[in-house]
């Protein structure tokens, strides 16, 4: 019995069915608790005023936007190495979720940037790399949509995902070279002394957990849909042959 | 390998189009910019490095879908795949042929167009140098993109969507080198990084290209 057996489509459908509602419930609880706590029970920042509260949407969305791509990369690698169909479908399912997270991060950032920096958009390295990440997501989704044969599509998109990851990292550091930053440094890191104050930190953690569960739930649900869609196509093909 | 390179070059020259078309496109984009932003010499000379780089990037993009499409349709790509030459080599040669037919002419023509945009006199050497170092990377990345979309009927638009984000680092370092040259700063760092990108793409992307070609030929 290895962990790979859980990726068998039938088993996958079996264990995700009971897990899915729980994941959604956890995501809902975390998000409601985190957002209500963050919006109504934390003090305003002494310089940023109440605008600081957009952090509860902005930071988790930005985190998940990057993690979704990393998850797609891992799923692509698993597909290339072990040819697990569920893995390829999970990568496909994660892409639209990731693109939405990227958009949320960009929009909340713009809304926050207008009062704080005096502009909705600036060609700052972090903002620019997110825009580039958005373009990578678009290309990846477009390639999935364009190819009819599912195995070829899975193969080509995983190659694109791997090459794209290298270029995404390269672009991240290239834009640092190109422009000076307006965006503050990382507000969350494990190795630094100076982090966000605890009052903001705990609700933020709850929100991040909420976004993680939401992401897992959405990807599981979309993967189930993809599996069903593929079963349906197989049935149709069988009917046509008969 | 040399036979394949010679064949590709001959095809590109005799079929017309590809060779001159990219150059003409480059010229037109550069000529259109002053109509868009106004004829002030100062403004033009400030944006010239970026315009020249973006225009050459677009011109290189124009001929990408021809790299594999014709060979795929008439079956010679399948023949190449069964030949003793590994597909990695095929990808490399195709990129090289694309560079000789588009990248190199663009590089040679760029200083003349820099004149139109009143580029700072100090920057010409760096413009030539940065395009010479950078355009091979554009061809190699584009060859990979062309291999990804070779089996698709209308791959042209998708190809640009896939390839343009991959061009970002090359564009940044290339244009930055020219800009620093124009401002009298030291552009060595940007040029070295640009060379690094070119070397890296030529080392790694032939393998990715060959892998995608194998998938598409399956």
Under DSSP, the state recorded for A167 is: H
Q: Tell whether B193 lies on the interface with A, counting CB pairs under 8 A.
A: yes
- CA A114 to CA A232: how far, in whole Å? 48
| Residues B169-209: tens digit of each pLDDT | 899 888 888 888 888 788 888 889 899 999 999 999 999 99
Asked if residue B142 lies in contact with residue B64, where contact means CB atoms within 8 angstroms, the answer is: yes
Please tell me the predicted confidence (pLDDT) of residue A125.
Answer: 79
Confidence label for A193 from pLDDT (cuts 50, 70 and 90): very low
- CA A90 to CA A2: how far, in whole Å? 19
Q: Is the dihedral of CA A111, A114, A116, A121 positive or negative?
A: positive
Q: Where are the beta strands (DSSP E) in A87-162?
A: none
Encoded tokens for A45: 């920042």
Please tell me the predicted confidence (pLDDT) of residue B17.
Answer: 55
Tell if the CB–CB gap between B190 and A162 is shorter than 8 Å: no
Confidence check: pLDDT of A24 > 50? yes
Please tell me the predicted confidence (pLDDT) of residue B16.
Answer: 59
- Domain total of chain B: 1
Range of the domain at B47: 2-217
Q: Name the residue with tokens 């933020």.
A: A204
Instruction: List chain B residues with CB under 8 Å of A147.
Output: 151-152
Confidence label for A104 from pLDDT (cuts 50, 70 and 90): very high
| Residues A59-74: tens digit of each pLDDT | 889 889 999 999 999 9
- What ipTM describes this predicted complex? 0.84
Q: Tell whether B217 lies on the interface with A, counting CB pairs under 8 A.
A: no
The fraction of chain A above a pLDDT of 90, given in percent, is: 34
Q: Tell whether B169 lies on the interface with A, counting CB pairs under 8 A.
A: yes
- CA A119 to CA A114: how far, in whole Å? 4
| Lowest-confidence region among A7-21, A40-54, A94-108 | A40-54
More confident residue, A9 or B138: B138
Tell if the CB–CB gap between B148 and A178 is shorter than 8 Å: no
């Amino acid at each position: 019995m290895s962990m790979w057996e859980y990726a068998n489509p039938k088993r996958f459908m079996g264990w995700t069915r009971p897990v899915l509602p729980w994941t959604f419930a956890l995501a809902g609880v975390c998000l409601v608790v985190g957002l209500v706590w963050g919006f109504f029970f934390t003090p305003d920042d002494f310089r940023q005023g109440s605008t600081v509260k957009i952090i509860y949407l902005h930071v988790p969305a930005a985190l998940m936007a990057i993690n979704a791509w990393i998850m797609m990369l891992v799923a692509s690698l698993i597909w290339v190495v072990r040819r697990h169909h569920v893995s390829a479908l999970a990568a496909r399912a994660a892409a639209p979720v990731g693109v939405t997270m990227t958009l949320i991060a960009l929009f909340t950032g713009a809304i926050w940037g207008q009062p704080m920096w005096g502009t909705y958009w600036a060609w700052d390295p972090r903002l620019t790399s997110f825009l580039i990440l958005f373009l990578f997501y678009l290309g990846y989704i477009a390639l999935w949509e364009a190819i009819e044969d599912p195995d070829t599509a899975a193969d080509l998109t995983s190659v694109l995902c791997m090459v794209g990851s290298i270029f995404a990292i390269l672009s991240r550091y290239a834009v640092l070279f190109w422009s000076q930053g307006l965006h503050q440094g990382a507000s969350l890191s494990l190795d630094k002394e100076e982090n966000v104050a605890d009052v903001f930190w705990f609700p933020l953690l709850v929100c991040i957990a909420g976004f993680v569960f939401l992401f897992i739930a959405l990807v599981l649900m979309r993967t189930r849909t993809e599996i069903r869609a593929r079963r349906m196509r197989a049935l149709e093909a069988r009917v046509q042959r008969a | 390998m040399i036979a394949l390179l010679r064949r590709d070059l001959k095809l590109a020259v005799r079929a017309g189009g590809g060779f001159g078309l990219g150059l003409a496109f480059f010229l037109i984009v550069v000529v259109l910019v002053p109509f868009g932003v106004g004829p002030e010499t100062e403004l033009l000379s400030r944006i010239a490095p970026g315009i020249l780089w973006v225009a050459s990037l677009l011109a290189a993009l124009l001929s990408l879908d021809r790299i594999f499409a014709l060979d795929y349709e008439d079956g010679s790509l399948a023949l190449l795949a069964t030949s003793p030459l590994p597909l990695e080599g095929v990808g490399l040669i195709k990129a090289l042929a694309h560079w000789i037919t588009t990248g190199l002419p663009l590089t040679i023509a760029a200083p003349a167009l820099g004149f139109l945009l009143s580029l700072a006199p100090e920057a010409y050497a760096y413009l030539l140098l940065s395009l010479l170092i950078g355009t091979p990377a554009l061809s190699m990345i584009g060859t990979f993109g062309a291999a990804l979309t070779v089996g698709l009927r209308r791959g042209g638009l998708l190809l640009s969507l896939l390839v343009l984000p991959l061009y970002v680092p090359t564009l940044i370092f290339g244009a930055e080198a020219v800009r620093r040259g124009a401002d009298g700063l030291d552009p060595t760092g940007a040029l070295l990084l640009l060379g690094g990108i070119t070397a890296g793409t030529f080392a790694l992307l032939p393998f990715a290209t060959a892998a995608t070609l194998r998938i598409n030929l399956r």
